A and B are shown apart, each in its own frame.
Chain A
Amino acid sequence: MEVINIQGTDDTPNVILDKDNGKFEISGRSLPEDVNLFYQPIMDWIDGYSKDTNDQTIFHIKLEYFNTASSKIILDILLKFEEIVEDGNDVKIIWHYHEEEEDMLEAGEEYADIVEIPFEYEAYTD
């Protein structure tokens, strides 16, 4: 499968989706003007991946900030991974948050409430 490797900017996140090396990660900031435009290739990639997944998928989300439109798209991404779980595959989300950012921890917990995927939380410092 092709590798998605997007370099972040001040309003879009870093994204690495690499099936062969088992790297699935989104990090940085997400506040693009047009969330659909930015995230469509990522959604398409996950659709392709869901047809032939690895034995285990560990998806790292390490966002320092995202706007509300991005939060909706992140849920859509997680719902795609939930389908992968429903198909009997092993998926885990590692939700990284800055130790001083309680809002970001809460955001992760809200997602965990909605989707049926195991979540782990990891605090990081500067």
Chain B
Amino acid sequence: MGNLDKHSFLDFAYQLYRTMKTNEISLVYEGEVTQEITKTFTSLTERNLAKSEESNAVQRKVFNVMVECLQNISKHADSMGDEDGEERRGIVMVSKNEDSHNIITGNIIKNEKVPGLKENLEQVNSLDKKGLSELYKTQMRDGKISDKGGAGLGLIDIAKKTGSTLTYQFKELNDEVSFFILTSTIKRNL
């Protein structure tokens, strides 16, 4: 329970509940992101969406973007200092408002990887639908599946499917690592 005493913890739990309800946050998670977790979260979100009145196209896009975001963490997340480098951890938050569904993910990344990732994000954000499609085709044709099982297509795909620019932030934590936050927005009225 950390620094919270029993009473403040109950209060915190209630405040958290209220915040989640008000902002229609349907999922918050911090921890290891594995294929099992990815499958569990995506099917949970899929079931919730199926109960709502969201169109199939929007449901599919949310599912799609979630898979890519979670698999990005499970393939690319780094860890703090001496922690076991094999464990891929991150945060995941899924929320909605009147206009859109938002999928926010965050994970630790080595500082040396930040410029390259930033460049990829900027490139994706500079392209329109047609440009993204061309980049996707080029990368699919010329790219190779990495040892981690990635094809370097995730960010392009998210931008393509959402039709929105990728919102991101890097917070430098120390000389070694930063925290990378990515927000993907899926519009509800297609």
Q: Chain A residues in contact with chain B, CB under 8 A?
A: 10-11, 31-36, 65, 67-69, 71-73, 75, 98, 100-103, 106, 110, 113-114
Contacts and interface: CB of A to CB of B under 8 A. Distances in A.
Contacts of A101: 56-57, 60
Given A65-B67, A103-B57, 6 more contacts: A11-B39, A35-B149, A69-B153, A72-B153, A98-B56, A106-B133
B21 interface: no
A34 B149 contact: yes
Contacts of A10: 39, 43
A114 B56 contact: no
Interface of B: 35, 38-39, 43, 55-57, 60-61, 63-64, 67-68, 71, 74, 133, 136-137, 140-141, 143, 145, 149-151, 153-154, 156-157, 161
B63 A75 contact: no
A68 B149 CA distance: 10
B153 A110 contact: no
Contacts of B157: 68, 71
For the complex of A and B, the 7 pairs showing the least CB-CB separation, nearest first, are: A68-B153, A33-B35, A72-B151, A69-B151, A100-B56, A68-B157, A75-B140
Contacts of A110: 133, 136-137, 140
Contacts of A11: 35, 39
A72 B57 contact: no
B67 A72 contact: no
Given A110-B136, A114-B137, A67 B35 contact: no
A28 to B, nearest CB: 14
A67 B157 CA distance: 9
A103 B141 CA distance: 19
Contact of A71 (B39, B60, B74, B151): B151
A104 to B, nearest CB: 8
Nearest to A115: B141
Contact of A67 (B57, B71, B141): B71
